[in-house]
Amino acid sequence: MEVLTVTDDQLGEGPVWLADEQALLRVDIAAGELVCRAGGMERRRELGAPLGFALPAAGGGFVAGRGRELVALADFAAAPRRLAAVEPDRPANRFNDAACDPRGRLWAGTMSTTREPGAAALYRVEPGGAPEVALAGVTVSNGLDWDRDATRLYYVDSVTQRIDVIDFDVDRGRLGARRPFAAVDPADGLPDGLCVDAEGGVWLALFGGGAIRRYTAAGRLDAHIPLQVSHPTSIAFGGPDLRDLYVTSAGPLLRLHPGIAGRLPTPFGGP
């Protein structure tokens, strides 16, 4: 386990590996900063807080969730261009975690900063389209990723203290039946970001629990790894062979070597 950053993030989140640049992209939500780490060096730029996520876009650039609006950037230094906004009647909400499915659709969730039950949602955004509510009645939309054949979506609404699994139609981009996958005792932390590795294992960050976990595809707890930070937020595989595991936190960025490979993310509008 390595501590990579000298300056701690206020609330680091949303790590994603950029294979073409051999770089790790993440956000600092509270600082409103986009951060790109490559070759041991970091570039930071301010986009405005709260900055919930940033993901690569097909053809270059990024799509990001800032406050309750979606913005596009032509490159790391470009001025943001507004794409859409959601929930104008809910000023206490903001975008939180997001990911793109294998067809390049963006799935972006909001969260209630006051924890108002059911006040947030998970949105589906087709390239060039407007955000559509895919899952309503959410409180703190958080980690999400798909299994290896994209027939199941693993999803966290943090206040439920569990990971759910939702049947997924990858061709139509539609959600089906939802059921519990793995429960987390509140004493072990708040379920936060997650990712799925190349073997189908589901990795989960435990915010306030100072640890990450791996579950098998059957929902069995396979590993519990204590960390050097108390508030890990999310997880992503990276490195030349996708065998480095990066963990963001309310503090430093960590890198682990778990002996398992990950998968490359699909860019927005790709593959």
Look at strands 244-249 and 190-196 and give their pairing: unpaired
192 is catalytic: yes
- Residue 239 CB burial class (10 angstroms; 0-12, 13-18, ≥19): middle
Q: Which residues lie across from 157 on neighbouring strands?
A: 141
Choose, from 192, 197, 222, 244, the residue flagged as catalytic: 192
What positions carry a catalytic annotation? 192
